[in-house]
Every structure is written in structure tokens, then in C-alpha cells.
């Protein structure tokens, strides 16, 4: 009997020493000390042992139980601490290593150019106004002296919501809105999105414009030219020349198309300026008296000028971009260059 216990101790010691993980310890605890474990079955058989031997045998079994328990606990502690060490080693972080850079975004090139242009006009005393992108036919066309069925409407490739409501085709739609609520002198710019049903390398259906208008007494075309020249010099440099070409807009009279000397070839001729040395940059003119009437101003009281500028076009010339469709695509490889 006592021999059996001795070999039980030996095998338990051997098992426990060779345990390689906490799972093994658990299994061995069940094997030896569990309800159906080996030692438990010895304890259960105590009753069948002769009375005189029972005491000594019982004591030995209890000692064995204590021994196995302490062997298991000891080995368990060892395994736990070596597992901890292993985890510490594998999960350690090197706090001296250089950090990984988080890529920062930045403002879209169109926003950057728009902000630059806005700040130039703010420095000239203009205030910024806003208007709806879904607009009444009245403000987009009628009030600006585009009669219904006038061919000039066709030039605007309008998106219609219904007969009376359009996606504004230009920021000029805000002119009469501002005039209705304010009286001159007015010095206003209106940056914003406009919509036209058109798409190719130089047109996208949604783009940005900046409208500007100045209304007061005795405003002359030379004021328009001076203001635009100063603006162009700030954006493209003082060596840039401008010229005014006669044009037509229903809401300005006279009207002009403003060209700048080609910023790519400095006027000597290249494919951006179609070898002319000039690039068209904006539309402008003296506000047509009909517009004042439509806004409820007394006719002949005021004069003023207006101009409208495509922001993507300015950005393309400034950065030498040859396809306007790159702006709304938002490819990071493109945007990262600005
Ligand atoms: N609104 C015109 C356009 O989009 C530009 C313009 C604005 C012309 C103001 C004259 C005066 O083509």
C-alpha cells in the first residue's frame, strides 16, 4: 500500500515538473485531486483498510495530497511568471523609436485660391455676401435683364428644377438680392458654387465663381479696369498685363471680356493661349440700368460695375493644370501637390 503511494508521489512529481503550461497544471489537478482523481480514489478506499493501518495510511494520504497541491501551486507560479516575462518581452514597446507620421490633410486648391482672392477684395473694402444655389428664374435671369426666350439664356446651359426654379448658372444671381436689401454705396463679392450642364477638359457641371460689384455715384469704367488690374497683379504678379475686349452680357452695358497676358509664355505664344499671347479670365461690365430698375432703385441715380470670375480657371492658370476635371475628382496624388 505505502509503496503504491510512493510511486503515486513519484509519478505526480514527474508529471508536474514536465507541465509546460497552465492548461497542463489544470489537467493534472483534475487527474490527481479532482472528484474522480487518483488520490481521491485512494481516500475513498480508506474505509476498506484494516483499522490498525487506517490511521497511518490516512495520514500518509493527507501528506501526499498536501505535497501534490504544493507541487502544483509551485509549478503554476513558475509558469505564470515565465509566461508574464514572455509577454512582457514580446509586447514591449521601444519608446525611443521615431514616431510614424500621421498624414495631415489641407485645404483643397480651389478653396486656397478662393481664400486668396477673397482676401484681396476684403483688403479693398469689399464685403462678402451669400445666396442660394437653388434659385428663382427671376434672380438668375429675369432681374438680370434676360427676357424669357432671349437667346442669351442658351449660353448658360441651365439645369432646371422646374419652369421657375433653376440651379444658379452664375453668382450674378446674388446681385439683385443684395440690391433689394441694401442701398449704395455697395462693394460686394459673392463667392460660391454654380451649375451648368456641360463637361469636358475645361468645363465641369459644378464649379466656383466669384462675383464682384460696386455701386455708387459716378462710378466709371476706368474704376472697373483699375480694380481688376490691381486684382490681377496681386494674383498673377505685377508684370501681367490686362486688356478689355467688347462683349455682351444682358446685365451689363457696355460689357467686356477681360484677358490677361499669358502667364505660361509671357505673351510670346504657346498652346495654352492658342498662340495669341492672351488668356480670357473674366467677364465684366457696367451694370445695366434695367438691373437697377428691377431691384427697385431709382433709375439714373447710381452707376456701378460688375465682374464674374471662374475660380477653377484661375487655379488652373496659377498652377499650370490642364484638365479642370481633376478638381472634383479628389485624387490624393493630385491634391497633395498643393
Ligand atoms: N455672370 C457672367 C458669367 O457667368 C459673368 C459676369 C459677371 C459678366 C458680372 C459680367 C458681369 O458668364
Q: Which atom of ligand 1 is nearest to the CA of 310?
A: 4
Report pLDDT for 5: 84
Given this model, what pLDDT does residue 150 score?
85
The per-residue pLDDT for 268 is: 87
Residue with more model confidence, 137 or 34? 137
Q: Which atom of ligand 1 is nearest to the CA of 169?
A: 4
Averaged pLDDT for residues 322-334: 94
Is 37 a residue whose pLDDT tops 90? no
Cα 228 to chain centroid, rounded = 32
Q: Could you tell me what percentage of the chain is helix, strand and coil, using 3-state DSSP and rounding each to the nearest 5?
A: 45, 20, 35
What is the model's pLDDT at position 12? 87
CA distance 327 to 315: 10
Give distance in angstroms: CA of 273 to centre of ligand 1.
Answer: 21
In a mutational test of the pocket of ligand 1, which residue from 283, 286, 314 has the highest number of ligand atoms less than 8 Å from its CB?
283
Distance 108 CA to ligand 1 centre (A): 24
The pick from 156, 246, 282, 308 for probing ligand 1's pocket by mutation, whose C-beta has the most ligand atoms within 8 angstroms, reads 308
254 preceded by a cis bond (ω within 30 of 0): yes
Q: How far is the centre of ligand 1, averaged over its atoms, from the C-alpha of 155 (Å)?
A: 11
Mean pLDDT of 80-102: 87
- Using CA atoms, how far apart are residues 169 and 156, in angstroms rounded to an integer? 6
336 phi and psi angles, rounded to 5 deg: -60, -20
Cα-to-centroid distance, 173 and ligand 1 (Å):
10
| Cα 205 to Cα 145, 168, 247, distances in angstroms | 24, 11, 24
The domains of the chain are located at: 2-91, 109-335
CA-to-CA distance for 114 and 120, rounded, in angstroms?
10
Which residue's alpha carbon is at the smallest distance from atom 7 of ligand 1?
Answer: 308
| Contact yes or no for 250/256 (Cβ under 8 A) | no
Instruction: Answer whether residue 2 shows pLDDT above 80.
Output: no
pLDDT (average), residues 233-237:
96
Question: Which 3 state secondary structure label does DSSP give 192?
Answer: strand
The CA 239 to ligand 1 mean position distance, Å, reads 25
The DSSP element (H or E) to which 128 belongs, if any, is: strand 127-128
Residue 106: band (very low, low, confident or very high) from pLDDT cuts 50, 70, 90: very high
Average pLDDT of span 109-133: 98
What is the per-residue pLDDT across 166-183, written as a single tens digit (0 to 9) for each? 999 999 999 999 999 999
- State the distance from the centre of ligand 1 to the C-alpha of 252, rounded, in angstroms: 9
Give the distance (Å) from ligand 1 centre to CA of residue 123. Answer: 22
Average pLDDT, the chain: 92
Q: In what order do the strands lie in the sheet with 303-310?
A: 127-128, 186-195, 206-216, 303-310, 278-287, 252-261, 242-249
Q: Tell which atom from ligand 1 comes closest to the C-alpha of 308.
A: 7
Lowest-confidence pick of 152-161, 246-255, 303-312: 152-161
pLDDT band (50, 70, 90) for residue 90: confident
CA dihedral 272, 274, 276, 277 (to 10 degrees): 10
Please give the distance, rounded to the nearest whole angstrom, from the Cα atom of residue 238 to the centre of ligand 1: 24
CA–CA gap between residue 266 and residue 126 (Å, rounded): 30
Integer Cα distance of 303 and 202 in angstroms? 34
Q: Rounded to the nearest whole angstrom, what is the distance from the C-alpha of residue 284 to the centroid of ligand 1?
A: 6
pLDDT of residue 38: 87
Q: Which segment of 12-16, 55-59, 196-200 scores lowest on mean pLDDT?
A: 55-59
Q: Is the pLDDT of residue 1 over 80?
A: no
Q: Which CATH number fits domain 109-335: 3.30.930.10, 3.40.1190.20, 3.40.50.300, 2.40.50.140?
A: 3.30.930.10
Which ligand 1 atom sits nearest the alpha carbon of residue 155? Answer: 12
- Is pLDDT above 80 for 108? yes
Tens of pLDDT, residues 296-321: 999 799 999 999 999 999 999 999 99
pLDDT at 256 over 90: yes
Residue 21: the pLDDT is 87
Residue 33 and residue 36: Cα distance in Å, rounded? 8
How many CB atoms sit inside 10 A of residue 198's CB? Answer: 12
For atom 10 of ligand 1, the residue with the nearest CA is: 284
Residues with CB under 6 A from ligand 1: 170, 172, 211, 249, 252, 283-285, 306-308
Best mutation site among 135, 154, 170, 244 for ligand 1 pocket (most ligand atoms within 8 Å of CB): 170
Amino acid at each position: 500500500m505505502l509503496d503504491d503511494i510512493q510511486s503515486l508521489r513519484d509519478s505526480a512529481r514527474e508529471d508536474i515538473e514536465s507541465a509546460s503550461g497552465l492548461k497542463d497544471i489544470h489537467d493534472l489537478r483534475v487527474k490527481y485531486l479532482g472528484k474522480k482523481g487518483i488520490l481521491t480514489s485512494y481516500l475513498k478506499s480508506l474505509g476498506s483498510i484494516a483499522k490498525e493501518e487506517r490511521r497511518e495510511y490516512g495520514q500518509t494520504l493527507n501528506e501526499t495530497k498536501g505535497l501534490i497541491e504544493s507541487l502544483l501551486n509551485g509549478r503554476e507560479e513558475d509558469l505564470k511568471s515565465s509566461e508574464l516575462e514572455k509577454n512582457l518581452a514580446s509586447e514591449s514597446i521601444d519608446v525611443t523609436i521615431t514616431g510614424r507620421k500621421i498624414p495631415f490633410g489641407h485645404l483643397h486648391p480651389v478653396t486656397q485660391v478662393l481664400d486668396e482672392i477673397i482676401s484681396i477684395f476684403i483688403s479693398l473694402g469689399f464685403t462678402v455676401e451669400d445666396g442660394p444655389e437653388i434659385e428663382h428664374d427671376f434672380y438668375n435671369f429675369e432681374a438680370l435683364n434676360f427676357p424669357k426666350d432671349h437667346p442669351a439664356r442658351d449660353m448658360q446651359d441651365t439645369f432646371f428644377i422646374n419652369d421657375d426654379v433653376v440651379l444658379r448658372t452664375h453668382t450674378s444671381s446674388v446681385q439683385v438680392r443684395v440690391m433689394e436689401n441694401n442701398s449704395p454705396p455697395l462693394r460686394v463679392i459673392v463667392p460660391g458654387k454654380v451649375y451648368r450642364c456641360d463637361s469636358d477638359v475645361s468645363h465641369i457641371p459644378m464649379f466656383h465663381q466669384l462675383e464682384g460689384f460696386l455701386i455708387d455715384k459716378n462710378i466709371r469704367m476706368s474704376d472697373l479696369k483699375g480694380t481688376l488690374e490691381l486684382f490681377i497683379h496681386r494674383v498673377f504678379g505685377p508684370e501681367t498685363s490686362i486688356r478689355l475686349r467688347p462683349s455682351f452680357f444682358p446685365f451689363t452695358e457696355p460689357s467686356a471680356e477681360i484677358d490677361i497676358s499669358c502667364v505660361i509664355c509671357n505673351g510670346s505664344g504657346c498652346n495654352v493661349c492658342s498662340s495669341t499671347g492672351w488668356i480670357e479670365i473674366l467677364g465684366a461690365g457696367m451694370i445695366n440700368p434695367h438691373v437697377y430698375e428691377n431691384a427697385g432703385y431709382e433709375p439714373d441715380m447710381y452707376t456701378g460695375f460688375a465682374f464674374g470670375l471662374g475660380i477653377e480657371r484661375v487655379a488652373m492658370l496659377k498652377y499650370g493644370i490642364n484638365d479642370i476635371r481633376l478638381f472634383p475628382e479628389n485624387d490624393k496624388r493630385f491634391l497633395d501637390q498643393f
